[in-house]
DNA sequence: ATAGATGTTGCTGA
DNA sequence: ATCAGCAACATCTA
């Protein structure tokens, strides 16, 4: 579920409710959710306890919290996977069915006292990662001006909304690859933050087939794709952002809102709205792709 | 009811 | 070195 816009909504919530606060205690309820923390759940709990959270940063779908009070500089990385949520709640709130990690916060004003990581499918997780410098020496992502990035996210390309990235960068990255266009934009090492839903939406908006070969892609096509990616993500963020003022940093709420305005994803057998507007009749088709589904209009997304 | 699908990432082997 | 396929998991639907 969570792609760039949803994760950014979560980041803003964390910045508002959690930044500046101290971790009083940490409780791992399911070790599988910290499996990428190689020193184990106990070390995870002990290392974090007493730290103060100094920032909330995002690159693509990776989130991290800056930590003050450690001997060796490191950050708390969180990835939501397919079903992860970060919730800011009162300790009295009943435990969620899939509650995996409870981070108890020292009292601050009348802010809620817990940050919870909830994850049904356990593709997501949390772990502590040392810092390295970004390959280009520029700021690591949204929420920071520093070039320090968690080692675990150092291979992630700049994301769709990153101001230090251009359409030309995307063109160069695509041209280097030898694969199909949709595969490439889902590759977080080419451009980050794009998942299956917004990939289909952006390709539809740019009138491009995901089956185009990246090695022969043309600049005008990449320009259209880049514009579409930025537009789709910006609109989704605006829709999801309406709920972030609430106490709960809720990923489900954030993406469900934008789902009403999808043009391709999930619309198998329904009319292509752009074709209809142009006086044509065309039905959105679904094809198996990378173990998932792709939704496209066969008429206005030609393969050339 | 049972197989297949579900928004992600990282590892493996070709 | 690059790329495609699969595994990690729980739940819902056809």
Report the alpha-carbon distance of residue A27 to residue A116 in Å, rounded: 10
For residue A258, the model assigns a pLDDT of: 65
Q: What was the pLDDT predicted at A274?
A: 96
Encoded tokens for A141: 């992502």
Kindly report the CATH class assigned to A167-296.
mainly alpha
3-class secondary structure, A10:
helix
How far CA A25 is from CA of A49, A68, A115, A237, A292, in Å, comes to: 5, 15, 11, 32, 39
Would the CATH topology of A4-153 be identical to that of A167-296?
no
Please state the length of chain A: 304
- Catalytic residue set of A: 2-3, 61, 292
Domain A4-153 class?
Answer: alpha beta
Per-residue pLDDT of chain A (304 residues; tens, 9 = 90+): 688 988 998 899 899 999 999 999 999 999 999 999 999 999 999 999 999 999 999 999 999 999 999 999 999 999 999 888 899 989 999 999 999 999 999 999 999 999 999 998 899 999 999 999 999 999 999 999 999 999 999 999 999 999 999 999 999 999 999 999 999 999 999 999 999 989 999 999 999 999 999 999 999 999 999 999 999 999 988 887 443 333 334 434 344 456 668 899 889 999 999 999 999 999 999 998 888 899 999 999 999 8
Burial category of A1 from C-beta neighbours within 10 Å (exposed 0-12, middle 13-18, buried 19 and up): middle
Instruction: Write the burial class of residue A95 (CB in 10 Å: 0-12 exposed, 13-18 middle, 19+ buried).
Output: exposed
Q: Are A225 and A206 in contact (CB under 8 A)?
A: yes
Chain A 92-131, CB < 7 Å to strand C:
97-98, 120-123
Q: Which of residues 56-85 of A touch strand C (CB under 7 A)?
A: none
Non-local CB neighbours of A294 within 8 Å, separated by 6+ positions:
A182, A196, A200, A210, A286, A287, A288
- Phi, psi for A22 (deg, rounded to 5): -105, 140
A120 touches strand B (CB under 7 A): no
Handedness of CA A16, A17, A21, A22 (dihedral sign): negative
Asked if A179 CB < 7 A from strand C, the reply is yes
Q: Where are the domains of chain A?
A: 4-153, 167-296
């Amino acid at each position: 579920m969570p792609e760039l816009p949803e994760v950014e909504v979560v980041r803003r919530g964390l910045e508002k409710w959690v930044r500046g606060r101290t971790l009083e205690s940490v409780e791992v309820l399911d070790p599988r959710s910290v499996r990428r923390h190689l020193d184990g759940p106990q070390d995870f709990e002990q290392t974090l306890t007493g730290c103060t959270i100094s920032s909330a940063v995002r690159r693509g779908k990776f989130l991290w919290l800056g930590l003050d009070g450690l001997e060796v500089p490191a950050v708390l990385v969180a990835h939501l996977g397919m079903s992860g949520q970060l919730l800011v709640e009162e300790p009295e709130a009943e435990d969620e069915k899939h509650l995996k990690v409870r981070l108890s916060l020292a009292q601050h004003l009348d802010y809620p006292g817990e940050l919870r990581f909830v994850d049904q499918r356990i593709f997501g997780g949390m772990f502590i990662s040392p810092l390295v410098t970004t390959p280009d020496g520029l700021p690591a992502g949204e929420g920071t001006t520093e070039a320090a990035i968690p080692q675990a996210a150092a291979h992630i390309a700049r994301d769709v909304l990153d101001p230090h990235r251009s359409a030309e960068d995307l063109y160069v990255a695509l041209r280097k690859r030898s694969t199909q266009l949709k595969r490439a934009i889902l590759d977080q090492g080419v451009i980050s933050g794009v998942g299956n839903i917004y990939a289909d939406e952006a390709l539809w908006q740019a009138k491009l087939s995901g089956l185009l070969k990246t090695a022969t892609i043309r600049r005008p096509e990449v320009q259209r794709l880049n514009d579409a990616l930025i537009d789709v993500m910006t609109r989704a963020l605006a829709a999801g952002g309406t709920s972030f003022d609430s106490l709960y940093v809720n990923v489900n709420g954030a993406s469900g809102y934008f789902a009403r305005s999808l043009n391709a994803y999930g619309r198998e057998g329904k009319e292509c709205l752009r074709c209809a507007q142009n006086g044509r009749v065309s039905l959105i088709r679904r094809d198996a792709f990378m173990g998932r589904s792709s939704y496209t209009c066969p008429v206005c997304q030609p393969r050339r």
